[in-house]
Amino acid sequence: MEDDGILLMESPQRIFEKYHIDEEMGFALPNPLEKLPPPYDEWISIAKNLPELIKKNELRKKVDELKILSIDGLSGHKLQRLARLALGYITMAYVWNQGDGDVRKVLPQNIAIPYCELSEKLGLPPILVYADCVLANWKKKDPNGPMTYENMDILFWFPGGDCSKGFFLVSLLVELAAASAIKVIPNLLKAVKNQDEVTLKKALHYIASCLHRAHEEFEEVHKHVDPSTFFNVLRIYLSGWKGNSQLPEGLKYEGFWENPKKFAGGSAAQSSIFQCFDILLGIQQCSGEEFAAEFLQEMRNYMPPAHRDFLLLLKSGPSVREFVRSRDDIELKADYNECVKAMVSLRKYHLKIVAKYIVIPASQQPKKNQASEESSEQKNKGTGGTNAMDFLKSVRTTTEKFLLIDH
């Protein structure tokens, strides 16, 4: 990885272009495409009708009838991202079907081969990730209208009615609110390098305000996502095959790999935005509990490679935290602390959401016999396969430790 030269010498536009970052949208894919050319449009028609096909128990039959398509006709990043999104939805639906424990352990080659080839090309694992279902799964109803929940929709749905839309769009709007702050990062780092406290204060102040706005967007989840539907329906389709008792060996991708592979399900930990601010503020999650640090590190493999590289680039840049510590400036410390507090606040709020949407519904499940398809331990896991409460508590506690206290 290059040194911090690119961050300090290149224009922000060049940096963002190189690392697939949009000045307004951040890590989200700007204006995703909605249609694939023939013959790939077959994938779209299945992905568009998943709830109906699953309800009629016709989904697997439809998938089994598909021809194996070469991915050579899919040129351009946006077209490839759309194809991957559609294949990701189809894969989750094929594995979990009606969510009743009838699980498929083999993904047939007619879907496995193009999905794995495309995933390899895009540098992502062949499972539905946050960069698919949140960052590349949206459209505006009125193209000239605002980026608001009311004027937006998702491209593909899982069973559970509006739960998919609520969960994915609220996640996207949280991401976008925080991502507004990315555009000040190059200037912020130049300010550190040039010891320009005035510019640094402005940038930190702006980052804090974006993180506060992200918190406000997060609160909308209660309005749009029903806990019972999330827990009993949508969560199942977002579950992966790593650390999952229903697929202890993982999933076999027929015709591509000889042995089954284990991949984690989609998780907010796969968002680059909050790891980006951890790095920028010098919040070292590796100083916290080992399992949480390892999980965050592992989740980088589920991010688009350009975004992963941007995080590494940031890490090589000048330290905002050390500069703030070295100055005897109460206001500067306060502006820095405001950013850290905003990160703590978001993580505390995330804990409340996990309690409401995973822990409480899990405790309300009827006790089943030993042959139950899903263990109680499994039910308390987030979609990424970790114990969500333990993970978030650890990350929150570590974040709090990085507040600068005057001694």
* Residues tagged in the binding site annotation: 350
Q: How many CB atoms lie within 10 A of CB 370?
A: 5
Q: Tokens 């992966």 correspond to what residue?
A: 240
Residue 400 CB partners (closer than 8 Å, separation 6+): 340, 344
In angstroms, the CA 237 to CA 168 distance is: 13
DSSP state of 231: I
C-alpha distances out from residue 108 to 113, 254, 389, Å = 8, 5, 35
Question: Residues 225, 353: contact at Cβ < 8 Å?
Answer: no
Binding site for heme b: what residues are annotated? 350
Question: Residues 214, 174: contact at Cβ < 8 Å?
Answer: yes
Question: Residues 103, 247: contact at Cβ < 8 Å?
Answer: yes
Question: Residues 299, 270: contact at Cβ < 8 Å?
Answer: yes
In angstroms, the CA 273 to CA 311 distance is: 9
Rounded to 5 degrees, what angle do the CA atoms 45, 132, 306 make?
135
Q: What is the CA radius of gyration of the chain?
A: 21
Q: How many CB atoms lie within 10 A of CB 228?
A: 13
Rounded to 5 degrees, what angle do the CA atoms 292, 295, 299 make?
140
In angstroms, the CA 210 to CA 228 distance is: 31
C-alpha distances out from residue 271 to 9, 14, 68, 353, Å = 27, 22, 32, 17
Which two structure tokens, joined as six digits, stand for 72?
Answer: 């050579």
In angstroms, the CA 335 to CA 202 distance is: 9
| CA proximity to 206, closest of 182, 190, 237 | 182
